[in-house]
Structure 1
Amino acid sequence: MTFNKRKLSQVCAGALLAGGLVVSIAPAVAATAAGTLIKNLATVTYEDSAGNQYSAQSNEAVITVKQVYEAELSSDSTKTATAGQIAYIQHTLTNNGNGTDTYTLTATNDGSIVDDLNAGSVKVYRDLNGNGLVDAGEPEVSSVTLAAGDSAELVIAVAVPSSAATGDELGVILTATSTNGTVTDASPSKGTDTLDGTNQDLITVSGDAVLNYTKSAVLNAATNQITYTLTITNTGNRAATDVNIYDAIPVDNAGTPMTLVSTSAAGLLTANGDTLPAAATLDETALNIDLNNDGDKTDAALAGISGIDASIAPNQTVSVNMVVQYDPATFNNNAIPGSAGDIIKNTAWLTADLDGNPGTTEEPIPTNPTQTVLPQNYGVNTADTGENNGAADTTNNGQDDDALNNTQLVTQAPVGSSALFLVDVTNNGSGTDTFELLIARGDFPAGTTFTIWNEAGTVQITDTNNEGGVDTGPLASGATKTFMVKAQLPSTTSGDNGGAGFTATVTATSATDPAVSPASDTTNLKLAEITASGVDLTDSADGATPGVNVDDLGATPYTINDGTNPGARPTFSGTVGGEVEIPFYIDNDSGSADSFKLYAGGSDGTTLGTLPAGWTVEFYATDGSGNRTGAPITTTPSLPAGTTDKKYIAVVTISADPAQAAADYGTVDTNADGDGDQLISIRVLSSATGASDIMMDAVDVAPLRQVALTPPGSDQIQAGGSVDYTHTLDNTGNTEETLELSAANPGTTAGWNNTIMVDTTGDGVPDKAASQLAPGDVVYGKDNSGSIVPVAWTDSDNDGNPEVTLPAGVSLAVTPIVFAPSDAAPGEINTLTVTATNMDTDTDGAGPDTAGPNASVEDISTVILGQVRLVKTVAYDAGCDGMADGAFAANLSTQVAPGECAIWNIVAENQGDTNALNVIVRDNVPTYTTYKAGSLKYALGSAALAARTDVVDSDNAEQVSGTVSFFAGTGSTATAGGTLLPGQTATVQFSTKVD
């Protein structure tokens, strides 16, 4: 039999090409992860009758992203096999939801079709290396658990009966189910049975040549190369002749292929009439094959490789290798900027004469698809703007900078004012990243406070990733975002600092880079002069003897390495989210060659168990230099008898969740540093002989001691009045921390005071003054899952300031209330500093731990004759119809799924006794959401909410580039705010859809 095709020379123009195809299947834009906290606060600006300008922030409104469950199983297939053969059929299960889910797997004979016989057995295996075969150490599975976006390669092993006759058909069905949602059948039209959750495979028994093929892909992130290996075995009863091999090279969105680095083959000889694989231009129209899986057969010039094996005899195996390289800075094959996360799928094709009959035509044979996910590189650049808008440099508008020199210059700002700096942050990594923003005061005067705003300076930036600090929000690869830093200067210091000016620094640090020192960059903020008060009108390999168990596990309690020689190898040190490489060596003490399965587990010192939650271990072979190489392995190759010191490396990945990577495991202190270490067991097992051994190592996770007290606040207050602020004290590290809470707000006018409120009922609402509590009383916080956690109230140093001991991952709601004296002057600024001081002791127990993490937050209150307050709440809108499906709340208990909406409600109230003029309420569309067009609503006083247009037109609301603005009050226009009378309110709303 022959294929209806032209000669190879007619369809493949030999050439040196720079790439190789693809089935570059791009993933859909990922949904926001389940459990993400979406936070948002609004800002109001207004004036008094004298023209003084004021601004205030609302409370922070929060929604939690709900988990959605979506998955797909691909795909139905056909296969040829011989009688008595084990046929392997590959399928892929992908979690397309936004959180982890578990799937139940079953594989059986297919009773829904008419076929000729049943399989002797049908089993499902996890194909860990994606080569389409069941390799030693790959487990049989009945369920798999996948994180959001992850895929599992599965192999069905079907035992074809030896009694099968040529032409017999055998059907099997793979079923995947989730208790939480539907698993979609990704086959065209949902496959043969048109049902979700199933893939159906049809095996035809042949007495001719049968080509079994496996395709694998190995990524080398260090060189940005992918090595594709195609292995072909003839398991049939006659030779397969004229075997043509085609493989296209992955391309990006622009159609540019990866660079072809090399080709090689095993089993192909030119002396036998074979054509070795080489670069070629492939013509789909001539071959009548959709080589790049784009849905057509019309591409006439695809970069790829081709080769011909003139004859593959029964039981003969040949293989072909193709190495391609990509540029992580430019390669991109989906709608998400950057190469990180790009999924590269590749399928090779075979054509062959399988029955020796030139009068029949066989269909082309696709190999199993391989899937490679490109890794992320990390980088960030912060810079000054180098922008001078031409106005006098005495104008405090953030635009005095004259040159790109990594120093953002402001020439002067009045004492007690806010100096404005603009800073650009650019994501130089290959994928979307979020950057934590940290400002160091430097030599700015004591009492200077820094806040970070959007470029226009109208909306204060907050914490979008729940890491406890201000951040940029997600930035796409190559994207630049400009931020305004406001330095609120104290009213006590002026001058030019002896001619040197005042310099602070802003640092942007990658929040997702797992490195010990994540990618970061710093830019200087320089204020040349603080002008004095006045008026200014501005706008061991061991060589062991075989048979001697040197590193015996020993009896309990277990210690590391060697029960007879504890401490022969030191404890390994690791960090939260980091990797630890544990080298180990294998001696084959048997008299024959053997291979060994590799296992890893954990231990509490007395029993052996599984790895701790969130931890993983992968095993690697090593190269000639002893460094890990290739893809992860689950079993060693066959080691000759008497092999000694064969080196492998176990790569332990510590959980990125600090609560799952405790610095003190409280089990065994293997390095005598005062805290417990996590024991890691490594086990080898021979399937052939049952020979096994276990050794113990330990990982000492470095303390990640960090606490956060957020967010900072600013508001107005009347003389003799009060204002409250909302904060969260959060232990974001991996150690237990004891913190003493204190607050101080001395003012220019005597009589300023404050009190701190905490939750004593467990409902999440601070209800009692801390000063009313006694040691031993209980307050309530929350852990990372949202569960209520009781926290004891103590006072170890008897100074009257309360102390709380927060386990890792636990947070406490804190609400300070500021009280102004009745004779406070209009315009007076009071700063309340709430401080959480670490009360833990040094390791010697002799005194306070000066290295312990502390946290503080500042709330700035400005005395005014009248004041406008903002209260922000949010409600759930499942159908995005603009109607709330429940009550509004500051911290919404109902979770919102991607694709569902949240309605943000802001009430501005004039709580003063004079008119508030030119009232404007602004808000940014929250990170991880998209503005819902046409959702602006406005009402004054008790009037019903009425719709407003999004565009800048004649009404008093607009949405421009992610910022919503409402011009509120009586007499408001499309460009200016109106008047709020004392006691009067204005209510505004807008909606966003969770991404």
Structure 2
Amino acid sequence: MPRKHVLRAGMILVLALGLILPMFSSRSQAAMTPADTVIGNAATAIYRDQSNNDYTTTSNIVQSVVLEVCGLDVSPSGPTPLRATPGQSIYVPIIVTNMGNGLNTFNLATGGLGTYSKSIYLDANGNGVVDPAESAGIASVTLNMGASANIIVGITVPPAAAPGDTDVSNITATGTAPAGCSDTSGDFTVTVVNDAVITVSKAVDKNTALPGETLTYSFRFKNVGSKPVYSRAGVNGYDIDAATVDGVMLYDQLPSGASYVAASASGTPAANPNGYPIYSANGTNWFTAEGAVVGTITYVAYFMPDGTPGNGTSETVLDVDQQGTFTYQVTVNSPFAEADGEINNTAAFYYNTFTATLQTVFTNEVITTIPANATSDIAVSHRVVDPYTNVEEDAALNYQNDNTAALVPAGSWVEFTHSLANRDAINSDLIDLSAINVPAGWLVEFWNANGTAKLIDTDGSGNVDLGTIAPQTRVDFMVKAWVPAAASGGPYFFDIQATSGNKPAEIDLSRDNVTAVLSVDVDIAQYADAGDATDEPSDGDTNGANDADDILAAETSAVLPGSTASYRLQVVNIGGSSDSYALNVSGNPAGTVAKFYSDLNNDGDHADAGEAEITDTPLLGGTVVRVAGVFGGGNTTFTVYGVANFVAGDVIRLNKTVTATILSVDAVNKTITVAGDQTANTDAGDLVSESYSVIMEVATTPTTPPSVNNLVVAAISNTSGTVDNMDVYFEVLEVCSVAVNPNSSDQIPATGTTTYIHTVTNSGNSTKYVKIDLNMAGLGLTYLFLAEGANWKAFGVDGLAGTGDDVALADGDTAAVGTVFIQLAAGASANFKIKVFAPAGTAPGLVESANIQAVASSDGDFTTLGDQCSDTASETTTVIEGFLQVTKARTHLDVAYIGVIPSPGDEIVYSLTYKNIGQQTAVACVITDQIPDHTTYVAGSLYIDVNCDGLIDGGDTLLTDGSGDDTAEYDGVNNMVRFRVGAGADAANGGSLAPGAQGCVLFKVLIQ
């Protein structure tokens, strides 16, 4: 989805000594790690033994799942002074923001010492007024992470309230799932007055707008008090047209990211008082004429003077219950800069009262969301038309870039090439593609430029696209349309529509036309070997039966598993119209795959240029009736009733045993020319049909079971569904094959062990008994077999597999190598382990290699050589002198991390415990740990954990973050911590760890 910018309109203003000063506030939230995010990694240690061999080891992985936390903000947080008359209802706009890291529902409740009646409403359109559709009270709001809701608190003053009475209240939001957070607004202090009281609200006509669009801001104000509104006068007046003018003002600063629309400001009342719009570039010096403003108009206001606006005396301006309106327009800047994303402000109304109290009343805040990259200029065209200069289609759909296909066979695909251009000079765009006005029964698909891959919907809009296209960039694509078998006549058309993702109203069209559809009426036949009189093509049976003349009785094949059988076939269109044919084979055994390939030169293979795998034949010309044949110049020219189905290069069948390749086609004289004298092979009235040579290959896998099969090969008309079949003999032979993997190696100290895990696979094509043998050098290491799974067995007394006295081994059971076996089906695998032990005193540096041999046999006696096969895997074990082990753990907020789920803002303490578990000293020991994603390193948190308790306490040694001064540092370039450990470690080199020596280090990260 496109990113959004938010255009927030209005301005908070204060008035002091005649100056109007803007005050801005911002509610921003630092990036917080979303709930359920997994944080984790492992530490790494590098070291050397005393023979200067380098080693690397990693710790265990420590993972933390981030807890969903509760957080919110209720604004305004400062005090809100309000004035009201007895019996009046006043409304306070509030914004509630989810500052947590997941979805939460916040309960809402009013509080404070006040006793006046309160109600809470959802301000769905953000206009600061309780509209009729918003009159139902609410008790909660549900918000996603970072989302906000506009609400209104309504306060009703009792009719019996007296001037001077006050009511102090507020609103509190409390999280529920998860719970644990609440926030309270600043106090709303209502003072009851017998005086003027102004209410004012602000609205915008669009909640979402695109760059270049116009927004209309409208205001409503009313004196709901018991006394008239008086002007601000004298030193509290306003600088208008270089003179001090007495009056009242409804004032607004243009939102960032927008520009004033000339002559758009107007208001009421225009008489009594004589109100009028005024304009300013700085909010201080105002002008009644837009053109008089020096600079850019960034402030607009509606000014209402008193009766004698120049005398410096405060006078009546608005009577009780008198009301008015103000409106102006802005244009959203294009491009809309990201820096203009959020301004939190409101408009204000400035006036004086009967009691000479200067008052400022603020409107609600209105918000307009601007989708990023929302400018757009796109074009779609036929590929030979430049989409940059393509004239876009008008409302009457006058297309300037049509694609046209003249004659298309029914039951076939037709392709059209197109180009799509993002002509916008600034913004990238993700442009949707769709087909409209598609004829009934037709199917339209979108493919890449060369028609090899279907386009997909990359943005979840429901339409395919070509991905994000950079500004001023052209991308080609292909449209494929399926013409149904029942179609005929014409013409037909459909339209390709491109729709801008930035600006959905921006579309462009291109039309694809089919002049006429060639209807079909077909029959099919197969042909084995051109020129082989014993294997004739089918006589055109229509019922799909395996007739004697279309069974390949002479074609037989027996293959080894893992190899491929090959058959030569020929498909002949003996129908009356062009057609293509799906190729299918049935009866092939499990473990085989049949594929068809084109044999363009009919030489029995598919190794030549242009010969590729096919699932269907190409379009083959329909059968026509020959009129006459004339031989001359080494070629034969046939006159036929029609040549529409044929082109040069087509292979045609002249009779049941003879084919020929067309050299040329004369559409005017309705002739086709072939090589050689073919007059004896045809007679007037014979059918001339296009044929197509095919290679069918049936591939086996190494595990395909032995079998003898009769394959049924079918050619199926793609337009009519007509089928013709043929039989093929196919046999798979038996073979023995076994594999054991992998080759392994490891290092262990004296008295240490290692366990190698192996997999044995019956890679033959029949069930086998497989036994495990061991061949080793015998240098002192010991080997033990460990069963994995429940299918391993030990030989019984007779030493034979499968005779009934076998001993079943459970998972984890041990046995001597060479005494165990397993039965595996073809392709099946089993795991087992070999445990190697180095006795005490084994000399460091000893290297012993052993070969693990898997032997497979059908009869289980493992004595008949012709029935056996085998494979080996190597195990190389080196006895070493040093071995450094690192264990990673975590604590939380300096207490034991047991069952505690961390939250954003929490600190995690990572503890790294290192120990030499070998028999000789490890040297140059350095431990590094990458700071995990979604966390930041806590400066000044590198410690030597002296007592290895995993906690930061008074006994630990603090190390600096910098390099070159002690044994650790934080590497900000690579975002990792580094500790040099062991005796003699310094600011440059790791120290040494004697056998059994150990230690611990600590550091902290902060979850974002």
Shorter chain as normaliser: what TM range? 0.3 to 0.5
Query: What is the TM-score with the length of structure 2 in the denominator?
Result: 0.42
More strand by share: 2
Give the greater-gyration-radius structure (CA).
2
Q: TM (normalized to structure 1)?
A: 0.42
